Amino acid sequence: MQPLRPYVLTIAGFDPSGGAGVLADCKTFEQHGVYGFGVCTAWTVQTDDRFLNIHWLSEEQIIEQLEPLLGKFVVSTCKIGVINSPQTLLRVIRFLKEYNPAIRIVWDPVLKASAGFEFHEVNTFHNLEEILTEIALLTPNYHELQQLQLITGEDLVKDDFAVFCPVLLKGGHRPDAPGTDTLYEPGGLTVIEAGVDKVFQKHGSGCVLAAAITARLAAGVPLKKACRLAKQYVESFLNSNQSLLGYHSL
């Protein structure tokens, strides 16, 4: 009989196409040999290339899904994606830590759908610094990092060091270093260069990257190595076919 797998959690939106959100995260978890739980924050109306609408779940509805899972299982790592407000995000993080103070949380700050739909206005964000000090990793793309820094009024990475929490700046939209990820930690930075010359863009690739890191952390892999391995996984996902919907394999 095989030993029990680590339990990991995604708190994210439901995408009917399966390319992003809870469905994509659980596909990624399964490939990485961890057992994934999925808590829904919203249900969306979308395909791989069109985003039509989003219907948010309330803080109470999210907590209601979490409570029985956390009451029965020890969840060591959690990935959080799109959520209706920073206030809800902070409450959810604190609820997670009531059950396991040592839980490691990866926040993928989804502010805009790849199809162009804006989820939040920047001026609605509050408590951001409180959120960042509670998490193990932030995984923004270039544009998301710029928006978050506007909210805080200061750099989240300064002089090549992380200010509030480790930050993995994804390379997909970077004008200065396309395809290159940079991990900023309190002790300095690590550059993670692309392992392939060309990729085919995929719907939900940011979700998949954050979920792969979350799974690796649950398996005891150190953060730097987890980020490197996750990048390799995403590159394989991107090049699995030429459509916008990728196939998962490790």
Q: Distance between CA atoms of 62 and 12, rounded to whole angstroms? A: 10
Q: Are residues 131 and 119 in contact, defined by beta-carbon separation less than 8 angstroms?
A: no
Residue 3 has a pLDDT of 82
Pair of tokens at residue 170:
């994804």
Q: Distance between CA atoms of 213 and 32, rounded to whole angstroms? A: 10
Q: What is the pLDDT of residues 93-149, one digit of tens each?
A: 999 999 999 999 999 998 766 555 566 555 666 778 899 999 999 999 998 898 888
Give Dmax over CA atoms of the chain in angstroms.
53
pLDDT at 223 over 70: yes
Q: Is the dihedral of CA 129, 162, 225, 244 positive or negative?
A: positive
**In 3-state terms, what secondary structure has residue 154?**
coil
Higher-pLDDT residue of 101 and 187 is: 101
Residue 159 has a pLDDT of 83
**In 3-state terms, what secondary structure has residue 40?**
strand
Q: Distance between CA atoms of 185 and 242, rounded to whole angstroms? A: 34
Residue 81 has a pLDDT of 96
Helix (H) or strand (E) holding 112: none
Calculate the average pLDDT of the chain. Answer: 92
Residue 160 has a pLDDT of 86
Residue 207 has a pLDDT of 97
Query: How far are the Cα atoms of 24, 199, 238, 244 from residue 47, in angstroms, in the given order?
Result: 13, 21, 17, 10
**In 3-state terms, what secondary structure has residue 87?**
helix
Q: Which of 61-70, 165-174, 187-196, 215-224 has the lowest mean pLDDT?
A: 165-174
Q: What is the pLDDT of residues 43-86, one digit of tens each?
A: 999 999 999 999 999 999 999 999 999 999 999 999 999 999 88
User: Pairing state of beta strands 35-46 and 157-158?
Assistant: unpaired
Closest CA to 115 of 57, 163, 47, 173: 47
Q: Which of 32-36, 139-143, 165-169, 235-239 has the lowest mean pLDDT?
A: 139-143
pLDDT at 37 over 60: yes
pLDDT-based confidence at residue 12 (cuts at 50, 70, 90): very high
**In 3-state terms, what secondary structure has residue 130?**
helix
- Among all chains, which residue has been given the structure tokens 């805009």? 112
Helix (H) or strand (E) holding 64: helix 59-72
Query: How far are the Cα atoms of 10, 158, 222 from residue 82, in angstroms, in the given order?
Result: 11, 26, 25
Buried b (16+ CB within 10 A) or exposed e, 133-164: ebbbbbbbbbebbeebbebeeeebbeeeebbb
pLDDT at 215 over 90: yes
Residue 247 has a pLDDT of 98
